[in-house]
Amino acid sequence: MEVEIGYCVPCGFRQHARGVQEAVLNGLEQELDELSLVMGDHGVFQVTADGELVYDKETDGSLNADDIVRELREQV
């Protein structure tokens, strides 16, 4: 599985993105082929798995890293 975490640089979402990255590694490392952080802007914070949107801050609201890992686990 290829996971991409896109985050807004001007908004200061880097620490949150790194927290989600760490949680994904801790929970799904054996299932991952690739895990990447992608810098963006305009308030973006999205997580995709194999090109499919799993989490979008704008539409899904606030989820913690463990919730996002659970969502990704459903994709496996």
Q: pLDDT tens across 28-76, in order?
A: 999 999 999 999 999 999 999 999 999 999 999 887 899 999 999 988 7
Which residues fall within 8 angstroms of residue 76, CB to CB, at 6 or more apart?
A: 1, 28, 31
State the DSSP code for 38: E
Which residues fall within 8 angstroms of residue 6, CB to CB, at 6 or more apart?
A: 37, 38, 39, 40, 44, 45, 46, 47, 48
Query: In the prediction, which pLDDT does 75 show?
Result: 82
Tens digits of residue pLDDT in 17-32: 999 999 999 999 999 9
Note the maximum CA span of the chain.
Answer: 33
CB atoms within 10 A of CB 54: 18
Query: In the prediction, which pLDDT does 72 show?
Result: 94
